[in-house]
Structure formats: C-alpha cells, structure tokens
Structure 1
Amino acid sequence: MIRHLVLFKLNEGVSRDEPRVVAGVRAFEELGDRIPELRQWECAWNISDRPIAQDFAINAAVDDAGALTRYLEHPDHQAGVGLWREFATWVIADYEF
C-alpha cells in the first residue's frame, strides 16, 4: 500500500471561512466517496498553533503506484486541486507501508 500525505498552507491573507476555501475543503472531503482507488481517506484542518504548522492535511492510502496515478488523474481530484491552487501551497509525501 502507498500512503499519500499532503500538507497545505493558506496563502498570506487567506482565511478558512472564505467561500473559495470552504468550496475547496468540501471538494476534498467528498473525494473519499468518489474515487474508488482510495482505501483510506482523511482530510481536516490542523488544530496545532505552532509557528511551523501547516493549515490543512490529507492522509490517504491506495493499493499501489497505479492506483495512486489513477487517483491523481481523477477528474474530481483535479477539480479540487484547481480550487486549492488559487489560495494555498502544499507539500506531499508518498511512501509504501
């Protein structure tokens, strides 16, 4: 299995309650039910207030590299990424477990 982790940082001046951010969160929350390759799916706002903390996280699992590619290319995933691209930056890590 492959773990797919993504940590998002809202751009300067962007707040969690902005309509575009709310729409981005909703788009990602719905992915777990829409993409069959996802074996596990979690996403949520970070609750830590440490200076180095990111704002939002995705924690997902897929069976293998092919499933990861299908997830990444899925139209619903791409639509969500398009929303987040407008107001955040992110880092990822994919590893086998």
Structure 2
Amino acid sequence: MIRHLVLFKLNEGVQRDDPRVVEGVRAFEALGGLIDELRFWELGWNISDRPVAHDFAINSAVDDADALKRYLEHPAHQAGVALWREFATWVIADYEI
C-alpha cells in the first residue's frame, strides 16, 4: 500500500473563506467517494499556527504504484488540482506502508 500525503500553503493574501478555496475544498472532499483506487481518504485544515506549518492537508492511501497513477490522472483529481493551482502551492510525499 502507498500513503499519499499532500500539504497545501495558501498564497499570500488568500484566506480560507475565499470562494476559490471553498470550491477547491469541496472538489477534494468529493474525491474520496468518486475514485475507486482510494483506500483511505481524509483531509482538513491545519490547526497549528507555527510558522513552518502548511494550511491544508490530504492524507490518502492506494494499493500500489499503478493505483496511484490512476488516481493522479483521474479527471476529478485533475479538476481539483487545477482549482488549487489558482491560490496555493503544495508539497507531497508518497511512501509504502
């Protein structure tokens, strides 16, 4: 199994209640029920105010590298990514569990 972690940092001046952010969160919330490859799916806003902290996180898991590829290429995932590109940057980590 592969764990797929994503940490998002909102761009300077962008707030959580920005309509673009709200739409982006909704798009990612829906993925857990849309993409069969996902074995685990959770997401949420960071509660820490430490300077190194990111703003939003996705924690997910898929069976293997092929499933990860299918998830990443899924049209619903790509649509969500396109939304987030407008207002955030992110880092990822994929590791075997």
TM-score range (shorter-chain normalised) is over 0.9
Instruction: Encode CA deviations 1:28-70: one digit per residue, 9 max, x unaligned.
Output: 0000000000000001000111111000000000000000000
Percent identity, aligned pairs only?
81
CA distance in 1, matches of 2:41, 2:87: 22
CA distance in 2, matches of 1:11, 1:42: 22
Matches within 5 A, 1:64-79: 64-79=64-79
Corresponding position of 2:17: 17
- Which consecutive segments of 4 or more residues in structure 1 shift more than 2 A? none
The amino acid that maps onto 2:80 is G
In structure 1, list runs of 5 or more residues that go unmatched.
none
With normalisation by structure 2, the TM-score equals 0.99
The amino acid that maps onto 1:52 is V
Matches within 5 A, 1:1-97: 1-97=1-97
CA distance in 1, matches of 2:29, 2:43: 6
Displacement of 1:21 after TM fit?
0.3
With normalisation by structure 1, the TM-score equals 0.99
Q: May I ask how many residue pairs the two structures share in their alignment?
A: 97
Displacement of 1:89 after TM fit?
0.2
CA distance in 1, matches of 2:51, 2:93: 21
SS of alignment partner, residue 76 of structure 1: helix
